[in-house]
Amino acid sequence: MKINKNIIIENIKTIFYALVIAILIRSLLIQPFYIPSSSMEPTMLIGDRLFVTKYTYGYSKHSFPFSPAIFKGKFLSNKPKRGDVVVFKTTRDNRTDFIKRLIGLPGDNIQFINGDVYINKNQIPKSIISKSDVIYCGNQVQVNTFKEILPNGKMHKTAYFKDNSFKNTGVFIVPEKHYFFLGDNRDCSSDSRFLTGLGYVPEVNLVGKAQFIFFSSDFRIASIFAFWKWHKTIRFDRFFKKIN
């Protein structure tokens, strides 16, 4: 059978153009992410798939696949707001994606006192929602769930262990052009409290803002191939859930 070279060339062009368009959309507009850990429970669960807008905070080398060193700093930059749920590149390797809640802005003083968060010496108000919720931290853990209200009025849920293992710290002073992040699962999150780990996150490392969950599943219950158990493994109630 004779192979038509023109058809092959046209197919290669179509695939190439499709890849270019996909990379541009992923880099400049919107990108899907998967939640692999419990550090943001109860806001986000292991197995959530979400869309992140890349244009919200502007663009840097980290907006593109593999973080190519094509330019320095950010352009079309917009400042994030306190309380945003943000995807960023960890300072550990400038490659791995993390997702946390923005708590401290440049120049802020952050401190934990008796388990409560203080911003610029003012305690973040929190009120109890539940004393019997269960979250994951390696295993299932019973926690107290609170509603917290940040200084700009942004409200969100947080979970604290019953013994509240992370109670008191020194003062964290957020440097210029850096941000301070916390996980909503406060006693099971590697975040800006650990300066030898994540620490303060540079502005240039911000990738985008988490907007909404488009799919969610818990395949720890059963394999994806066990379609007769999808009513248990797929969390239909989380589809298209906005992230606050």
Q: Are the C-beta atoms of residues 32 and 208 closer than 8 Å to each other?
A: no
Active site residue 89: no
Helix, strand, coil shares of the chain as percentages rounded to 5?
Answer: 15, 40, 45
Whether domain 5-107+175-242 has CATH 3.40.50.970: the reply is: no
Q: Which of 100, 189, 192, 209 is catalytic?
A: 100
Q: Is 235 exposed, middle or buried (0-12, 13-18, 19+ CB in 10 A)?
A: middle
pLDDT along the chain (244 residues), means of 10: 67 77 77 95 96 94 85 86 97 91 98 94 96 90 95 96 83 97 94 85 96 92 79 92 95
Q: What is the pLDDT of residue 217?
A: 93
pTM comes to 0.89
Q: Is 210 exposed, middle or buried (0-12, 13-18, 19+ CB in 10 A)?
A: buried
Residue 235 tokens, joined:
């969390």
Pairing mode of beta strands 178-182, 122-123: unpaired
Active site residue 39: yes
Q: What is the pLDDT of residue 222?
A: 74
Q: Which of 38, 39, 60, 63 is catalytic?
A: 39
Q: What is the pLDDT of residue 2?
A: 55
Q: Where are the domains of the chain?
A: 5-107+175-242
